[in-house]
Chains A and B, each alone.
Chain A
Amino acid sequence: MNDLSDMEAVHRRILDRRRTNRDLPPYRAALIPDVTQILASYFARLHPGSTVSGVRRVGGGASKEQFFFTLTRDGTDEQFLLRMDPQLAITETDREREFVLLGAMNGIVPVPEAAWVDPTGAHFPQAAAIMKVVSGVTKPSDAGMKVSGLGTWLGEDLRGKLRDQFLDILVRIHAYDWRANPLPGFEAPDADPRQAARWSFNYWRALWQIDQGETRPIVALAEQWLANNMPDCSPQDLVVTHGDYRTGNYLFDEESGQITAVLDWELARIGDFHEDLAWVLMQAFGTIDNGTFRASDLYEREEFIAAYERASGRTVNRRTLHFYDIMSSWKCYVIVAANGIAAARSQHNHQDVLLTFLAATVAMFADDLVRLLRQGQPA
């Protein structure tokens, strides 16, 4: 029997916060003069004599309010990024946890340097983190207007330059020795072999319930299937998972094709490495080229699995991967149909119009669930 309350303590806190925030008055997008003032008062305390200038909003993204700014200290200008929670986001996460992970991954994989964090919104209106700016783009400049990384087209030249790096970085993230170098605030699901799957399932199921997602039969069936088919995870398969690893969530230098930073670590946790692989392999995050699917426009499915096995020395269990394939599509359904819509309906986000636009992806995720559940468990 699945204990539905079994999850990381941080996730219980996030769920409590989400429940509480539902009753707050509408949220308004932060204005540049207000953000400038908040930053100035923050640094006046931390670094008396410093000045804040050039505050401007960062475009793209579907989750957080983000601003570039310049901090001048002792006559030196430095560029930073402020990443601040709205009242309700399409993905409800914890800024401190992301901050801890950026610090731990620094020097292992390219990440923005974490500088300061206000985990509870003690100074900022909401929880916020500040990191150094890294140069690069998330998509080619000729990729056209897209609201997020969904289906980013890289093209042959960039694909050739990026694919080995993309794989290598994922393998290095998974190789992080979290037992020798513990991550404060991160718990390991090692009480029993199914705890890794259970924690993930329970958290997303609770989010679905809190946000009162409008059900449909395939989602109900998928939820029951996941509850009844949780795979075992051996201790050596418990890794740091990025949680949202895909094209669109890393920066690269458009000229050289060098990856300069992996972004959006907010869904990271200690879990089964298959969870990251299934997310990478989601059809919604890939491209279809003359009938051929490429994950993140980098690898065909089997090619990616084989390359990952070679590079990591791990063996991909096809039944476990199938479970996380279904989990990924179900999670995406929860994110767009429940979390995004709840944030927009309650007017607790700064980009309601984007959240309702993204909700049109529900049909793709429902269709993914149909395809995967019809396919059945691999032998």
Chain B
Amino acid sequence: MIPSIDDRLASVVRALTEVILPHLPPEASLAREQAHLSIGHLQILRAQIDAAPAFEREELADAVALARTLGEAMTGHDTPRAALAAAAGKAEAVDSANGGQVREQCLAVNQAIEALIAAVSANGNAADQARMTALVIGHEQARAHKDRVWCAPFGFDTL
């Protein structure tokens, strides 16, 4: 048996809440604020940690799906489309158990998408530009909703 990550985080939260925070003087406002924020962060981490790998894999899968769709839908722009296909291919081959690689490949795919968006916006034809805009908005509408749900525990969103 090893101590679970949740047990360890819970013990840190309790130490901060019940031992450290009460001993901070009222005038130590920055320290008190940051202790509260640290507790909040840790509670959210506890709630998210088990689901985080799946969330990040889905994020990568969504990015790859958009990359493939954009690559097929655009005409011309051979260089950024080839780079996009290469990034998507590399991402599909990633070791999905390795969180660092998943995040790294997701960023690489998004960067390749960005390059294609810049190229099509700068000198694509009107039909490609309209298709690209619709595809990106459609993809991001779903993606942003997932992200908002994920970030809801932070308490900023009126979702």
Which of B32, B37, B66 has the most chain A CB atoms closer than 10 A to its own CB? B37
A363 and B148 contact, CB distance less than 8 A: yes
CB-defined contacts of A56 to chain B, threshold 8 Å:
27, 29
Which of A58, A60, A216 has the most chain B CB atoms closer than 10 A to its own CB? A216
B14 interface contact, C-beta 8 A: no
B144 and A370 contact, CB distance less than 8 A: yes
Q: A59-B29, A59-B33, A351-B34 are in contact. Are A217 and B136 (CB under 8 A)?
A: yes
| Contact mask for chain B residues 101-120; partner A; CB cutoff 8 A; 1 contact, 0 none | 00000010011011001100
Q: A57-B29, A221-B133, A350-B30 are in contact. Are A367 and B145 (CB under 8 A)?
A: yes
In the assembled complex, the CB of B96 is this many whole angstroms from the nearest CB of chain A, namely 20
In the assembled complex, the CB of A247 is this many whole angstroms from the nearest CB of chain B, namely 15
A284 interface contact, C-beta 8 A: yes
Contacting A at CB under 8 A, from B85-138, are: 107, 110-111, 113-114, 117-118, 121-122, 132-133, 136-137
A270 interface contact, C-beta 8 A: no
B30 and A374 contact, CB distance less than 8 A: no
B156 and A150 contact, CB distance less than 8 A: yes
The tally of residues in A whose CB lies under 8 Å from a CB in B reads 42
Residue from A151, A357, A373 in contact with B40 in the complex, judged by beta carbons closer than 8 Å? A357
Q: A220-B118, A228-B121 are in contact. Are A214 and B110 (CB under 8 A)?
A: yes
Residue from A217, A287, A357 in contact with B117 in the complex, judged by beta carbons closer than 8 Å? A217
In the assembled complex, the CB of A85 is this many whole angstroms from the nearest CB of chain B, namely 16
A366 and B29 contact, CB distance less than 8 A: no
Bound-state CA distance A361–B158 (Å) is 11
| Contact mask for chain A residues 211-231; partner B; CB cutoff 8 A; 1 contact, 0 none | 000111110110011011000
Contacting A at CB under 8 A, from B1-52, are: 27-30, 32-34, 36-38, 40-41
CB-defined contacts of B133 to chain A, threshold 8 Å:
221, 373
Q: Residue of A at shortest CB range from B40?
A: A357
Q: A59-B29, A363-B151 are in contact. Are A147 and B157 (CB under 8 A)?
A: no
CB-defined contacts of A115 to chain B, threshold 8 Å:
none
B77 interface contact, C-beta 8 A: no
In the assembled complex, the CB of A333 is this many whole angstroms from the nearest CB of chain B, namely 11
A143 interface contact, C-beta 8 A: no
Contacting B at CB under 8 A, from A221-258, are: 221, 224-225, 227-228
CB-defined contacts of A360 to chain B, threshold 8 Å:
151, 154, 156
A284 and B137 contact, CB distance less than 8 A: no
B30 and A370 contact, CB distance less than 8 A: no
CB-defined contacts of A374 to chain B, threshold 8 Å:
137, 141
CB-defined contacts of B78 to chain A, threshold 8 Å:
none
A353 interface contact, C-beta 8 A: yes
A354 and B117 contact, CB distance less than 8 A: no
B140 interface contact, C-beta 8 A: yes
| Contact mask for chain A residues 254-286; partner B; CB cutoff 8 A; 1 contact, 0 none | 000000000000000000000000000001100
Bound-state CA distance A267–B33 (Å) is 25
Contacting B at CB under 8 A, from A321-363, are: 350-351, 353-354, 356-357, 360-363
In the assembled complex, the CB of B23 is this many whole angstroms from the nearest CB of chain A, namely 17
A24 interface contact, C-beta 8 A: no
CB-defined contacts of A306 to chain B, threshold 8 Å:
none
Residue from A215, A284, A351 in contact with B156 in the complex, judged by beta carbons closer than 8 Å? A284
Give residues in B with beta carbon < 8 Å to A.
27-30, 32-34, 36-38, 40-41, 63, 66, 107, 110-111, 113-114, 117-118, 121-122, 132-133, 136-137, 139-141, 143-145, 147-148, 150-151, 154, 156-158
Given contacts A221-B136, A225-B121, 20 further A-B contacts (CB under 8 A): A56-B27, A57-B28, A58-B29, A215-B107, A216-B110, A218-B136, A218-B137, A221-B121, A221-B140, A224-B118, A224-B121, A224-B122, A288-B158, A357-B154, A360-B151, A360-B156, A361-B156, A362-B147, A367-B144, A370-B140
